[in-house]
Structure 1
């Protein structure tokens, strides 16, 4: 007895569906294997880079080297507005994370994918300290892995206050100035403790891109960055909007010399 034509059609469709599901299954298996292999490859390279850096210099030696700078400024001698500005604009979850911020990294990754280029790093203050003191600025995956591993070491061995103090005393502000002490003397002609609120917020924004935001290069652009920092401070509760508005009003039209 001959099968109806529609029965043959159903059999063909079922066979095609099974073949397609099998193909998709093997594709996903191969994709997973590729991703795991890629992660292992960069993980091993990153760990090797981290171990090499650790053997060259310990966290304690790194901290001692920064503190030996004659322009080093203790945290207690820095205005609270400046410290709040740095944390708000650079790493607002600084006091909550263990050196690596999953949320900031995920956000940065999404922004990079949308832009088709690395436009945001998502690095914490601890990661930035690790990168600046132990590694090159090259944007490669293995360096990022090494940076995270070193950040965990730094967090285990130092307090949050120590990390923030070392960070603001070592970051680059442009014009050859490293650290907030040198930047204050060079740009403002004063000690950090003497900074007005507008000066504190202005300098907090410079290290993001010293070649653009150094106040002696383009004061208007530096002030635009200052307003961005103030917006972040308001967003994360370091300032009220009226306080931010007052700081903008205090800011002169040109850098006093």
Structure 2
């Protein structure tokens, strides 16, 4: 009797889970369809590229571009918009912390979110974001996606885009960032309000250490180069 009851309960849970998942996907697909119908992806990209602060990747420090990939999406060049390993790790972390603190988003998914959606932590929005990200990966090359990303994200203190951030924080062009400046700036988009350099330089330096260590781990810089930053 108990065995039959457990089987029945398990079956009911699976059915309800399937219904819930289906509802989330349908709602997410509706958000996605509405967004790209209002402004198609290619039109949205052109709109971003036509802003006065937009610059090409050739005008940005290679240290900075490598730092962003290393800390935000280490498998950026390998996936097609969705990183299964990062997603599963984020789920486990959220279960452990009993929160929705991590999303496991790739750079392409974050670009999609900043292009079209709010930062509201809803599962349907994550579905819509993923669908846009898959389209972006189909339409653009990786270097184009990274270029768009660093030009659109928020760096705290009212600075949107890498050009405004580097001139605002360091009074230099993005191309002239050294390793110290590049790794400091690359850590800020994780939590712009909490890491903005005007009021939270201590927190930003702690985050910078994570960026530098990730770059060593991922082969972007040597331990000697890292030590020049970490020993300051």
- 1:62 corresponds to 2:44: yes
- 1:72 corresponds to 2:57: no
Q: Are the equivalent residues in 1 in contact too, given 2:163–2:174 (CA < 8 A)?
A: yes
- Give how far 1:47 is off: 0.5
Q: Which has the higher contact order (CA 8 A, sep 6+)?
A: 2
Q: How many Å separate the matches in 2 of 1:145 and 1:99?
A: 12
Q: Are the equivalent residues in 2 in contact too, given 1:198–1:248 (CA < 8 A)?
A: no
Q: How many Å separate the matches in 1 of 2:107 and 2:72?
A: 7
The residue number in structure 2 matching 1:14 is none
- 1:156 corresponds to 2:150: no
- 1:129 corresponds to 2:111: yes
The residue number in structure 1 matching 2:203 is 221
- Give how far 1:35 is off: 1.0
Q: How many Å separate the matches in 2 of 1:200 and 1:27?
A: 54
- 1:27 corresponds to 2:27: no
The residue number in structure 2 matching 1:105 is 87
Please give the TM-score of this superposition, normalised by the length of structure 2.
0.96
3-state SS of 1:94 partner: coil
Question: Which of 41, 49, 52 matches 2:31?
Answer: 49
- Structure 2 unmatched runs, 5+: none
Please give the TM-score of this superposition, normalised by the length of structure 1.
0.87
Q: Are the equivalent residues in 2 in contact too, given 1:169–1:180 (CA < 8 A)?
A: yes
- Give how far 1:101 is off: 0.9
Aligned-residue CA RMSD in angstroms? 1.1
- Give how far 1:79 is off: 1.4
3-state SS of 1:122 partner: coil
1:117-146 C-alpha deviation (Å, 9 max, x unpaired):
112111110000111111111101100111
- 1:200 corresponds to 2:182: yes
Q: How many Å separate the matches in 2 of 1:134 and 1:39?
A: 23
Q: How many Å separate the matches in 1 of 2:135 and 2:72?
A: 20
Q: Are the equivalent residues in 2 in contact too, given 1:173–1:214 (CA < 8 A)?
A: yes
- 1:119 corresponds to 2:127: no
After superposing on structure 2, the runs of 4+ consecutive aligned residues of structure 1 that deviate more than 3 Å are: none
- Structure 1 unmatched runs, 5+: 1-18, 252-257
Q: How many Å separate the matches in 2 of 1:245 and 1:75?
A: 27
The residue number in structure 2 matching 1:191 is 173
